[in-house]
């Protein structure tokens, strides 16, 4: 029986694809069911208490469950429509089939997770929650490294089939475990920045003019993209995961770390709009200020996987900075956007914000590399002049750090979907560095399941 690690969009849709061919899998999820997961999310936002296995990233549905629920994608895959049709068949509104930017909302994703769980159980899959994979089980008796199962943190060993790895980009213990096995990995470009929050009515006025406030029009959104000039050449600065009528969330998975993201419900009816403003980081610049300054990082330095995990070292250091700057209780450091851009000290913050457990006045630049600070300042100014006049305002607040727009690591796989170093290991979606977002991850999971069946001789090529 195939083993699927991670009940995230990729893992779930891989299981759906296997069920289409009558194949039943064991699906392992380190976190709890979505009903129990909500307690961990509430404790973090309301009490500043982090459960490292039940949070906004780990648990049934993965990070996607507590996202904005965006279902649009830039992928040209012919399977895009198939994903939408499966979701509609499971109860989502049919308008996602025709909307230019289909959106579900967290309040609909949570019950959808329950429906998907029941569907997988009805198909004969074995679903196990609270099952954290600690290690791979390998067999090298035939002269090649073959993955034949997994070991859980309880010591239980599960063998019998290939392993489809859909663990997401926040499972850093998984990358370390793969490095111990010599699984081929490499650094890949990603982005770093901060979340910017505006009053939604301000964004409505900028984007909609006289139609601002019309119920039929809804909350306005924006998409930003700029190239900024720096000493070593142009750097891309862009918005990510824009959440109209949304809230800013704490999304750490490790104690002593803090990073943020955004979400919104179906109605997009909060008083705030938020989006990340991030700068591109290339694969050859995985450092804080000077090349090599993270090489000796104790967990993710160059001694691990030949430096493939240096991007995670960068993420980790910035998240530790943000945690300390916020006060050490998951309050987030924050600064007025104008003060950040013009390099001024902030004495006050806007009276209200959607972020819980709350904001702490702090200079955002202290949490970010100087090249990213420079890029964000230039990018915000250019956006205000050329793309979204009014974006740069005292009413906006910048909340660092946003570090997980995508994975800084790629688990290298071949055309057959398997790891190039380990037969029987199928790395997929965001955690493997091959997709981003709910839909592209779901498609990657389905494709991986098909390749697995083909390789195992259960499906004709």
8 A C-beta contact, residue 243 and residue 262: yes
Count of CA atoms in the C-beta half-sphere (13 A) of 431? 30
Best CA proximity match to 402, nearest among 282, 238, 271: 238
In three-state form (DSSP H/G/I as H, E/B as E, the rest C), the secondary structure along 308-365 is CCHHHHHHHHHHHHHHHHHCCCCCEEEEEHHHHHCCCCCCCCCCCCCCCCCEEECCHH
Which band of pLDDT confidence, cut at 50, 70 and 90, is reported for residue 73?
confident
How many other C-beta atoms lie within 10 A of the C-beta of residue 412? 17
Question: What are phi and psi for residue 71, nearest 5 degrees?
Answer: -115, 5
Classify residue 394 by its DSSP letter. T
- Is residue 422 packed enough to be buried (19+ CB in 10 Å), middle (13-18) or exposed (0-12)? buried
Question: CB under 8 Å to 150, separation ≥6 — which residues?
Answer: 3, 5, 28, 133, 134, 135, 136, 137, 157, 158, 163
Tell me which architecture the domain covering 3-185+410-455 has in CATH. 3-Layer(bba) Sandwich (3.50)
Total-model pTM: 0.94
Region of 199 on the Ramachandran plot (φ > 0 left; ψ -120 to 50 alpha; else beta): beta
- Is residue 248 packed enough to be buried (19+ CB in 10 Å), middle (13-18) or exposed (0-12)? buried
Determine which helix (DSSP H) or strand (DSSP E) holds 148, and give its type and residue range: strand 146-152
Residue boundaries of the structural domains of the chain: 3-185+410-455, 189-402
Assess whether pLDDT exceeds 70 at residue 460.
no
Render pLDDT for 350-405 as a digit per residue (tens, 0 to 9).
989 999 999 999 999 999 999 999 999 999 999 999 999 999 999 999 999 999 99
8 A C-beta contact, residue 302 and residue 20: no
3-class DSSP state of 146: strand
Render pLDDT for 284-303 as a digit per residue (tens, 0 to 9).
999 999 999 999 999 999 99
Render pLDDT for 116-154 as a digit per residue (tens, 0 to 9).
999 999 999 999 999 999 999 999 888 889 999 999 999
Q: Using omega within 30 degrees of 0 as the cis cutoff, is the peptide bond preceding 273 cis?
A: no
Count of CA atoms in the C-beta half-sphere (13 A) of 80? 14
- Range with lowest mean pLDDT among 95-99, 233-237, 280-284, 304-308: 95-99
Distance CA 295, CA 420 (A): 25
């Amino acid at each position: 029986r195939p083993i699927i690690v991670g009940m995230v969009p990729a893992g779930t849709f891989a299981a759906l694809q296997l069920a289409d061919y009558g194949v039943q899998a064991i699906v392992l999820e380190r976190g709890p069911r979505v009903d129990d997961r909500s307690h961990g999310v509430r404790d973090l936002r309301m009490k500043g208490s982090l459960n490292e296995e039940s949070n906004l990233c780990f648990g049934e549905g993965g990070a996607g469950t507590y996202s904005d629920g965006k279902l649009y994608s830039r992928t040209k895959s012919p399977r895009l429509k198939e994903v939408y049709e499966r979701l509609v068949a499971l109860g989502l509104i049919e308008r996602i089939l025709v909307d230019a930017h289909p959106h579900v909302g967290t309040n609909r994703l949570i019950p959808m997770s329950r429906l998907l769980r029941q569907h997988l159980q009805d198909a004969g899959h074995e679903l196990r929650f609270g099952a954290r994979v600690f290690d791979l089980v390998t067999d090298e008796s035939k002269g090649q490294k073959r993955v034949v199962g997994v070991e859980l943190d309880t010591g239980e060993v599960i063998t019998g089939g290939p392993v489809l790895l859909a663990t997401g980009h926040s499972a850093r213990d998984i990358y370390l475990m793969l490095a111990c096995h010599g699984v081929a990995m490499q650094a890949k470009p990603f982005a770093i920045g901060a979340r910017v929050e505006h009053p939604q009515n301000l964004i409505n006025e900028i984007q909609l003019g006289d139609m601002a406030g019309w119920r039929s029009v809804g909350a306005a959104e924006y998409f930003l993209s700029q190239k900024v000039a720096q000493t070593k050449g142009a750097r891309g600065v862009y918005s990510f995961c824009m959440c109209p009528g949304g809230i800013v969330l704490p999304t750490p998975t490790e104690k002593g770390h803090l990073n943020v993201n955004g979400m919104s419900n179906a109605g997009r009816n909060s008083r705030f709009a938020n989006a990340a403003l991030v700068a591109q980081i290339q694969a050859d610049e995985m450092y804080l200020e000077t090349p090599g300054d993270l090489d000796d990082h104790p967990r993710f330095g160059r001694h691990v996987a030949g430096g493939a995990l240096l991007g995670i070292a960068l993420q980790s250091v910035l998240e530790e900075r943000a945690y300390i700057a916020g006060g050490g209780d998951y309050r987030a450091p924050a600064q007025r956007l104008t003060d950040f851009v013009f390099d001024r000290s902030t004495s006050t913050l806007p009276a209200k914000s959607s972020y819980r457990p709350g904001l702490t006045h702090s200079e955002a630049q202290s949490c970010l590399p100087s090249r990213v600070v420079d890029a964000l300042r230039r990018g915000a100014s250019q956006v205000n002049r050329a793309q979204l006049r009014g974006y740069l305002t005292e009413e906006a607040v910048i909340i660092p750090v946003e570090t997980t727009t995508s994975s800084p690591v790629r688990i290298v796989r071949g055309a057959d979907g398997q790891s190039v170093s380990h037969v029987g290991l199928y790395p997929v979606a965001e955690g493997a560095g091959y997709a981003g977002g709910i839909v592209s991850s779901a498609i990657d999971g389905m494709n991986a399941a098909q390749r697995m069946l083909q390789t195992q001789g259960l499906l004709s090529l």
